[in-house]
């Protein structure tokens, strides 16, 4: 199954209730449309083609042509008007196997209308076909007589033998019944047909199912939310590194795998030494810190010297990045130890200046160099791209950037704008992570804690640093 087909199937499956509702609605409509259906009656007449000078299979081919001509909607309109057949009567023509027999059928709401419709339609159709053939015969007879008529008009004499020969030709032409329709059976007794709901319900049900699938595909294509990795790749144009589900206990294992998938992707994309990654999002989101902390924790567990840096200076806390960038604090003095011996944390600081003023490209580049002297891997918790211009500085300086998208809050347009802004500063954008921000602290497993637990940890660590 190719990726396009998988995307479409996922869209339909995610909106299966819409498909089900439309299908049920179509079935209900089909049921009500046949609820008051009355029985119908069908009568038919039989005709044949009698051509004495050729094989029956040739006449059988002609009968198929007559049937197709009879079924033509334009001809049936003309036929009904000429025969005085009501519009409610359904006319049809069909052949019998490979024989020259032709059935003309009339179907109506009453036996009388059905029988009259078949009789009138058959008579008018037969007379029109035969009249056309008779006209051809008359023209041929006139052509035979013309030489003799011309001789007589000139007072010439025609021999008896010639007259006898002419009459024989005329008799042969008059006796030729080739291609003509001949009555074989008068209108049969009408056959009662009870209405069948099953074919109607099947057709309505299939139609509703197809309509539901098309509606699901349309809603998915027009949706401004990002629900799956395929949505990210198709609508934003970014590689979907992973889709991280919520903190539902049933999804803990899947959440752990998704985080490890991100860590692996970042680790493979970054150099072995002096590696750095910036985590950011289009708007303010706890998912930025959740993902950044997950990456930092996992890399530290792997024995890599790691520093987790809070680069969003608008979230003032303790002393940290802001003071170091402004030259008011020594870096080693504000680096905070964590529960992992090879990992330290650098808080945003509490400076009063505008973050854009303090966080310049030059200062941040020097800070990154100093951090690399103390660690092999640096993870930046970046500010949101759309509301903080300095997010572009962080992304452009870091070796790799990952964009966090929240399926509950991030729109397609926001993701696209963030992508364009990061591309404008030549940020090395590895891809995007679709991360459901937890609503409560997670319990058990290796999944990162929720926003509340992260806030408690920051406050505790910051107090310890002070």
Counting Cα atoms < 13 Å in the Cβ hemisphere of 373 gives: 8
Q: How is residue 95 annotated by DSSP? A: E
Q: Tell me the pTM.
A: 0.58
Beta carbons of 137 and 122 less than 8 angstroms apart: no
User: Is residue 51 exposed (0-12), middle (13-18) or buried (19+ Cβ within 10 Å)?
Assistant: middle
> Would you say 431 and 315 are in contact if contact means Cβ atoms under 8 Å apart?
no
Q: What is the pLDDT along the chain (466 residues), one digit of tens a residue?
A: 555 676 677 778 877 888 899 899 988 988 888 777 788 999 999 999 877 777 778 888 888 999 999 999 999 999 999 999 998 899 999 998 788 899 999 999 899 999 999 999 999 999 999 899 889 888 988 988 888 888 888 887 778 788 888 888 888 888 888 888 888 888 888 998 877 778 888 888 899 899 888 888 787 777 777 888 888 888 898 999 999 988 776 778 888 999 999 999 999 988 888 899 999 999 999 999 999 999 999 999 999 999 999 999 998 888 999 999 999 999 999 999 999 999 999 999 988 888 888 899 999 999 999 999 999 999 999 999 999 999 999 999 999 999 999 988 899 999 999 999 999 999 999 999 999 886 544 444 444 444 434 444 454 544 444 4
CA–centroid distance for 237 within its chain: 19
103 in helix, strand or coil? strand
Q: Which 3 state secondary structure label does DSSP give 306?
A: strand
* DSSP class of 179: T
The rounded distance, in Å, linking the Cα atoms of 313 and 414 is 22
Two tokens, residue 159: 């021999």
In terms of C-beta distances under 8 Å and separation of at least 24 residues, what long-range contacts does 129-136 make, across chains too? 129/66, 129/179, 129/180, 129/181, 130/180, 130/181, 133/178, 133/179, 133/180
Q: How far apart are the first and last CA of the chain?
A: 58
What pLDDT sits at residue 118?
92
d(CA 166, CA 155): 18
Which among 365, 376, 378, 264 is positioned nearest to 310, based on CA atoms?
Answer: 378
What pLDDT does residue 252 have?
A: 83
> What per-residue confidence (pLDDT) applies to 448?
45
**CA dihedral in degrees (72, 75, 81, 82; nearest 10)?**
-130
Beta bridge partners, 106, equal 43, 91
Task: Please give the radius of gyration of the chain, using alpha carbons only, rounded to the nearest integer.
Answer: 44
- Cβ atoms within 10 Å of 273's Cβ, excluding its own: 11
Q: Which long-range contacts (CB under 8 A, 24 or more apart) does 83-87 make?
A: 83/120, 83/121, 83/123, 83/124, 84/120, 85/116, 85/117, 85/120, 85/121, 86/113, 86/117
Return the closest-CA partner of residue 315 out of 390, 379, 372. Answer: 390
DSSP codes joined into one string, 229-293: HHHIIIII---EEEEE--S-GGGHHHHHHHHHHHHHHHHHHS-SSSEEEEEE-SS--HHHHHHHH
Beta-carbon-side half-sphere exposure of residue 349 (alpha carbons within 13 Å)? 26
Residue 193 and residue 373: Cα distance in Å, rounded? 91
Q: What CA–CA distance (Å, rounded) separates 206 from 26?
A: 9
Question: Degrees (nearest 5) of the Cα angle 287, 292, 294?
Answer: 95
> Distance from CA of residue 417 to its chain's centroid?
26
104 three-state secondary structure: strand
- Exposure of 424 by Cβ count < 10 A (0-12 exposed, 13-18 middle, 19+ buried)? exposed
Torsion of CA 237, 241, 246, 251, to 10 degrees: 130
Q: Alpha-carbon distance 310 to 131, whole Å?
A: 98
- 3-state DSSP assignment of residue 430: strand
| SS3 of residue 34 by DSSP | helix
Lookup: tokens for 191: 């056959």
Q: Extract the tokens encoding 213.
A: 């699938």
């Amino acid at each position: 199954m190719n990726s396009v087909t998988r995307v479409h199937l996922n869209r339909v499956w995610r909106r299966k209730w819409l498909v089900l509702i439309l299908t049920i609605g179509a079935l209900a409509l089909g049921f009500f449309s046949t609820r008051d259906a009355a029985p119908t009656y069908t009568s038919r007449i039989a005709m044949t083609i009698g051509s004495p000078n050729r094989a029956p299979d040739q006449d059988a081919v002609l009968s198929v042509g007559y049937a197709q001509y009879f079924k033509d909607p334009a001809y049936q309109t003309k036929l009904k008007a000429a025969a005085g057949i009501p519009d409610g009567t359904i006319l049809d023509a069909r052949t019998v196997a490979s024989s020259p027999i032709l059935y003309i059928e009339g179907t109506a709401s009453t036996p009388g209308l059905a029988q009259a419709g078949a009789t009138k339609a058959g008579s008018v159709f037969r007379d029109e076909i035969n009249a056309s053939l008779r006209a051809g015969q008359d023209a041929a007879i006139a052509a035979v007589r013309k030489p003799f008529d011309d001789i007589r008009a000139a007072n010439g004499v025609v021999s008896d033998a010639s007259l006898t020969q002419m009459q024989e030709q005329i008799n042969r032409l008059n006796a030729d019944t080739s291609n003509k329709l001949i009555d074989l059976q008068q209108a049969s007794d009408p056959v009662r047909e009870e209405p069948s709901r099953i074919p109607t319900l099947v057709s309505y049900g299939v139609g509703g199912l197809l309509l539901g699938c098309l509606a699901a595909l349309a809603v998915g294509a027009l949706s401004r939310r990002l629900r799956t990795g395929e949505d990210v790749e198709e609508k934003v144009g970014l590689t979907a590194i992973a889709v991280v589900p919520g903190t539902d206990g049933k999804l803990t294992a899947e959440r752990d795998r998704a985080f490890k998938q991100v860590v692996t992707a970042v680790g493979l994309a970054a150099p072995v030494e002096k590696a750095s990654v910036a985590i950011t999002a289009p708007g303010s989101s706890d998912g930025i810190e959740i993902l950044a902390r997950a990456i930092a924790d996992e890399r530290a567990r792997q024995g890599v010297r790691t520093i987790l840096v809070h680069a969003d200076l608008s979230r003032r806390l303790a002393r940290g990045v802001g003071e170091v960038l402004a030259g008011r604090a020594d870096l080693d003095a504000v680096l905070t130890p964590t529960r992992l011996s090879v990992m330290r944390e650098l808080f945003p600081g509490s400076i009063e200046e505008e973050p854009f003023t303090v966080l310049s490209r030059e200062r941040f580049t020097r800070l990154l160099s100093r951090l690399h002297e103390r660690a092999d891997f640096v993870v930046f918790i970046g500010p949101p791209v759309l509301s903080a211009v300095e997010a572009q500085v962080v992304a452009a300086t870091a070796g790799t950037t990952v964009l966090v998208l929240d399926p509950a809050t991030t729109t397609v347009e926001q993701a696209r704008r963030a992508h364009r802004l990061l591309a404008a500063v030549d940020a090395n954008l590895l891809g995007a992570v679709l991360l459901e921000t937890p609503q409560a602290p997670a319990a058990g497993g290796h999944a990162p804690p929720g926003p509340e637990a992260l806030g408690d940890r920051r406050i505790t660590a910051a107090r310890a640093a002070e």
